[in-house]
Amino acid sequence: MKEPMTSPLTGETCAQLLELIPAYALRAADPDETAFIEANLAACPQAAAALEDYLRLADEMRADVPQVAPPSGLEERLMVRVASTTREQPRIVRRSRSLWAGLAAAAAVIALLVGTNAYWLMRVNSLTQEREALSAQLQERNVANTMAWLTRAQWRQLEGTQDSNVLAVIIWEDDDCFLYTLNMPSLPEDQVYQLWLVESNDRHVSAGTFRVDDRGAGTLNCHAQEGFQPIERVGITNEPRGGSSDPTGSPVALGDV
Amino acid sequence: MNEIELMRRIVRRDQQALREIYQEYGRSVFSLTYRVLQNVVWAEEVTQDTFLKVWDQAERWDSTRGKLKNWLLTIAHYSAIDRLRKERRQPSLHDAEINEELAGSNGTWQEGSALHMLIAHLPPEQARLIELAFFEGLSHSQIAAQTALPLGTVKTRLRTGLHRLRDLWHESG
Domains in chain B: ranges and CATH: 3-106 (1.10.1740.10), 114-172 (1.10.10.10)
- Report the residue from B66, B77, B140 with minimal CB separation from A30: B140
Given this model, what pLDDT does residue A221 score? 81
- Complex ipTM: 0.86
- Residues A12-37 pLDDT 10s: 889 999 999 999 999 999 999 999 99
Report, as an integer, the average pLDDT of B99-121.
Answer: 55
Question: CB A68 to CB B44 under 8 A?
Answer: no
Handedness of CA B31, B33, B36, B38 (dihedral sign): negative
Please, are residues A216 and A184 in contact by the beta-carbon 8 Å criterion?
yes
Does pLDDT of A179 surpass 90?
no
Question: A residues 127-156 near B, CB within 8 Å?
Answer: none
pLDDT confidence bin for A223, thresholds 50/70/90: confident
CA-based nearest distance B81→chain A, Å? 11
Report, as an integer, the average pLDDT of A144-154.
Answer: 60
Which residue of chain A is at minimal alpha-carbon distance from B17?
Answer: A208
pLDDT confidence bin for B138, thresholds 50/70/90: very high
The backbone torsions φ and ψ at residue A155, rounded to the nearest 5 degrees and listed phi first, read: -145, 155
Which residues lie below 8 Å from residue A119, measured CB to CB, with a gap of 6+? none
Report, as an integer, the average pLDDT of A119-145.
Answer: 47
pLDDT confidence bin for A205, thresholds 50/70/90: confident
CA A111 from centroid of its chain's CA atoms:
26
The backbone torsions φ and ψ at residue A8, rounded to the nearest 5 degrees and listed phi first, read: -75, -10
pLDDT confidence bin for A188, thresholds 50/70/90: confident
Question: CB A62 to CB B73 under 8 A?
Answer: yes
Report the half-sphere exposure of B115 (CA within 13 A, side-chain side).
Answer: 17
In B12-150, where does DSSP find H-type helix?
A: 15-37, 40-57, 68-87, 97-106, 114-119, 124-135, 140-147
Given this model, what pLDDT does residue A92 score? 34
Does pLDDT of A257 surpass 70?
yes
A208 interface with B at CB cutoff 8 Å:
yes
Given this model, what pLDDT does residue A245 score? 81
- Residues A46-74 pLDDT 10s: 999 999 999 999 999 999 998 999 998 89
Q: Which of A68, A173, A195, A209 to mutate to test the interface with B (most CBs of B within 10 A)?
A: A68
High-pLDDT (> 90) share of chain A, %: 25
